[in-house]
Amino acid sequence: MSAATKPASTEAALTMSGAEVVLRALKDNGVEVIFGYPGGAVLPIYDAIFQQNAIRHILVRHEQAAVHAAEGYARSTGKVGCVLVTSGPGATNAVTGLVDALLDSIPIVCLTGQVPTHLIGNDAFQEADTTGITRPATKHNYLVKKSEDLARVMHEAFYVAKSGRPGPVVVDLPKDILINKAPYSEAPKTEHRSYRPQTEPDAEQIRKAIALLKGAKKPIVYAGGGVINAGPEASRLLTDFVHMTGFPCTNTLMGLGAFSSDDKQFVGMLGMHGTYEANLAMHDCDVMLNIGARFDDRVTGRLNAFSPGSKKIHADIDPSSINKNVPVEVPIVGDAGRVLAALIEAWKADGQAQDKAALTAWWRQIDGWRGIDCLRYRQEGKIIKPQHAVKRLYEITRELGRETFISTEVGQHQMWAAQYFGFQKPNRWMTSGGLGTMGYGLPAAMGVQIAHPDALCIDIAGEASILMNIQEMGTLAQYRLPVKVFILNNEYMGMVRQWQELLHGGRYSESYSSALPDFVKLAESFHAKGIRVTDPADLDAGIREMIAYPGPVIADIAVAKDENCFPMIPSGAAHNEMILGPEQEGGVAGVTDEGKVLV
Amino acid sequence: MSEFANAPRAATIAVLVENEPGILARVVGLFSGRGYNIDSLTVAPVDETGRISRITIVTSGTEMVIEQIKAQLDRLVPVHKVSDLTLEGPHLTRELALIKVVGKGELRMEALRLADAFRARVVDATVESFVFEMTGNADKIDAFCALMRPIGLVEVSRTGAVAIARGPRGIN
């Protein structure tokens, strides 16, 4: 493209087709990789891709996987993930991925093909009302109906995807717009007309927050995915702040890695399957500092019993997250990193002394809860405990010292991964938190591996979830991506089975994984390595073999079929009503119908 | 902030938006998707270039819900400004209605007398019908319609409320 070397004057740019403008805009927005699947409406873009080398296209096997792969790419790099799919079914297949990215605030730009403008509304072949369908599935979407809007919309899509609270943006591209000549212009230097999210916190709110925090006797820092989204610097600032204050810190599922699991001030993940100490500290605290989390129902438990005695400070880049579920005393709108920097500065400048004696007493109380050792389990006999499999996987990867990224599917294995795999750095943990999308982990790991070719990328999976996007084994083979799929195979949709056991009288309706494939043969048929481990004595060797193999691997780990995921806050219960283990399962009997209606 | 009133209140919210395709669907979809009420909604371009439209939404909910509605509206990408007229001070609300009344004889005369009392204008007349035009707040139009019902009201068309703050201050 000669236009790439010339100043982007309209005259020079009119030599470009719409498809070339799209690619140029991608390049100018720093895109190096795009995950996609071709089809009639996007053929002009594929033709343009063929004729350039700046952007690498990764051919997935299903459009949902393209979005999850872009999510993995985005979450592990901090960049915008990019997707290209065709019209109609290409776009509708992508919808699950888009909603996943919306709920987990992942920046994605998804380009969808569309029938030519003169056929829109005609029920043309592979036509769908993509902007209509994806309106509630995206942060924003566009239908480009005029060639002169194309370049502006492309730039705006990237701006919207990554600014403020990140999210997915769809750009619907009719085929004639891609074929016709279109002018190119670079991204405008001026501010967006209407979308200008506030990133800098209000000084007065910071002052109020510090006054509360300095006077706290039983404080807690509750940090979420917003800290990860704010970049690695925000995690460093969070660590500084927690060390400076001496406060305990808990992370949400999305926030794991924002604060190191090794740190003695880390009390573990909180929420439905969080640690006893994190949840009780949340319940009993007197001042709560929420940074970049959204008081999700998995975290709060029963709202009217959520941390009843505390004053709450909530810092979020999205004002609509504040006072949505939980009313707070000090709302702070801003980027997590900017808020933390302001808190650190204000903390240092503030003359008020901390109540050190109270803090010491608070830690003593927390250490008492820690003493319960809520994540204990017993590995004995000839059956592998799923917790043990994850724990050994973690210990062996640490011992090897390789840069390791973990993705998961959704269910019990996901919670065990969150509980037993420790994260010391941000951006190393990819999981579908908000939407809970089974089938997320394999394509996400694929996207991570593309971004980090030399890293160890492991999808901790369940045997049911993995089948939801198993076709991506083909993508792994094609691009020689050495992703490791670590299946905790209990032959059940484990979390469904657990709820049926605890809440539905043990009637295991449709939750048994019948007619499973032979995962070893399945791996081999996709040109990967298959390993099956059934004996605890072989577990370590199996894990080491999986990691050592230079290509993709499916490790099928047969684990205890009836193991439940604990601790657990039953639906509709409060943090201090959590169940620690099987011996307390009777506690679930007390779940009211009101609790049962909650998911 | 911690003590929100639980009693629902009505809110008249003015929203300035970029006048682009799909913006109304975005706003309406937000309300239906999140389970908020819309009592009335009006929209029309309001600036000289036609690029900015003003949407006036009358809704109701607890204070926490109204705060959510405003925050959710404000984070829509094409939204320039969200203003809670109910909260921000005295404001005027007006609605326009066209009201068709059919009848003969004394009822017809009564309809005209009432229309006069309510300052409704006759904008169409036949020997057996009138169309009245009236503006006012929703209560006034409700009251007029209630009086017209027994004397031959057959059809009502209403715009929904438009509103503006009193005094010199503009929404921007």
Write out pLDDT tens, residues B55-68.
999 999 999 999 99
Q: Which chain A residues have a beta carbon less than 8 Å from that of B22?
A: 131-132, 135, 141, 143
Pick from B82, B9, B67: nearest CA to B34: B67
For chain A, list residues with pLDDT below 50: 1-8
d(CA B31, CA A545) in angstroms, rounded, equals: 53
CA distance A116 to A18: 13
A259 is catalytic: no
Residue A85: C-alpha distances to residues A2, A99, A144, A156, A172 (Å): 27, 16, 15, 19, 10
Q: Provide ipTM, 2 decimals.
A: 0.91
Q: Which residues of A touch B35 (CB under 8 A)?
A: none
Interchain contact A121–B (C-beta under 8 A): no
Q: Do residues A385 and A559 touch, judged by C-beta distance below 8 A?
A: yes
CB contact under 8 A, A194 and B75: no
Interchain contact, A143 vs B22, CB within 8 Å: yes
Closest residue to A136, CB basis, from B18, B21, B33:
B33
Q: Of the candidates A132, A194, A320, which has its C-beta nearest B71's C-beta?
A: A320
- Tell me how far apart the alpha carbons of residues A301 and A312 are, in angstroms, rounded to a whole number: 16
The strands making up A553-558's β-sheet, listed across from edge to edge, are A429-430, A404-408, A456-462, A484-489, A553-558, A529-533
Strands A529-533 and A553-558: parallel
Phi-psi region at A566: left, alpha or beta (left = phi > 0; alpha = psi -120 to 50): beta
Give me B102's structure tokens.
Answer: 């059919």
Q: Which two tokens stand for residue B111?
A: 């309809």
Please check whether residue A522 is in contact with residue A473, taking contact to mean a CB–CB distance below 8 angstroms.
Answer: yes
CA distances in angstroms from A364 to A263, A268, A296, A500, B103, listed in the order given: 17, 16, 28, 38, 84
In angstroms, the Cα distances linking B97 to A204, B127, B142 are 47, 22, 10
For residue A172, report the phi and psi dihedrals to the nearest 5 degrees.
-90, 125
- Letter for the amino acid at A210? I
Pure H helices in A471-517: 473-478, 494-503
Provide the shortest C-alpha distance from residue B72 to chain A (in Å). 6
Distance in angstroms (rounded) separating the CA atoms of residues A272 and A414: 13
Name the minimum distance, in Å, from the CA of A311 to any CA of chain B.
Answer: 9
Q: A571 vs chain B: nearest CA distance in angstroms?
A: 22
Instruction: Tell me if chain B has a CB within 8 Å of the CB of A195.
Output: yes
Q: Check pLDDT > 90 for residue B4.
A: no
Inspect the interface and report whether the beta carbons of A132 and B64 lie closer than 8 Å. Answer: no
Instruction: Report yes or no: A54 and A31 within 8 Å, Cβ to Cβ.
Output: no
Q: Across the strands, what pairs with B130?
A: B101, B125
Residue A128 and residue B19 in contact, taking contact as beta carbons nearer than 8 Å: no
Query: Which of these is catalytic: A63, A71, A156, A501?
Result: A63
Helix or strand run (H / E) with residue B162? strand B162-165
Quickly state the pLDDT bin for B3 (edges 50, 70, 90). Answer: very low
Spatial contact of A100 and A435, defined as CB atoms under 8 Å apart: yes
The structural domains of chain B, with segments of one domain joined by +, span: 3-84, 92-163
* Annotated catalytic residue A125: yes
What is the fold of B3-84?
Alpha-Beta Plaits (3.30.70)
Run of H or E residues at B112: helix B106-117
pLDDT in tens, B95-133: 999 999 999 999 999 999 999 999 999 999 999 999 999
Say if CB A254 and CB A106 are below 8 A apart: no
d(CA B132, CA B111): 10
d(CA A254, CA A44): 38
pLDDT of residue B1: 41
Q: Tell me what pLDDT residue A597 has.
A: 80
Question: Is there a shared CATH topology between the B3-84 domain and the B92-163 domain?
Answer: yes
Parallel, antiparallel, or unpaired for β A404-408 and A429-430?
parallel
CATH superfamily assigned to domain B92-163: ACT-like. Chain A, domain 2 (3.30.70.1150)
Q: Is pTM beyond 0.90 here?
A: yes
Model pLDDT for residues A404-434, shown as the tens digit of each residue: 999 999 999 999 999 999 999 999 999 999 9
Interface test with A, best of B17, B77, B80, B172 (most A CBs within 10 A): B77
Q: Answer whether the bond into residue A89 is a cis peptide, omega within 30°.
A: no
Give burial (CB, 10 Å; 0-12/13-18/19+) of B4.
middle
Partners of A555 in the beta sheet? A486, A531
State residue A586's pLDDT score. 67
pLDDT score for A572: 85
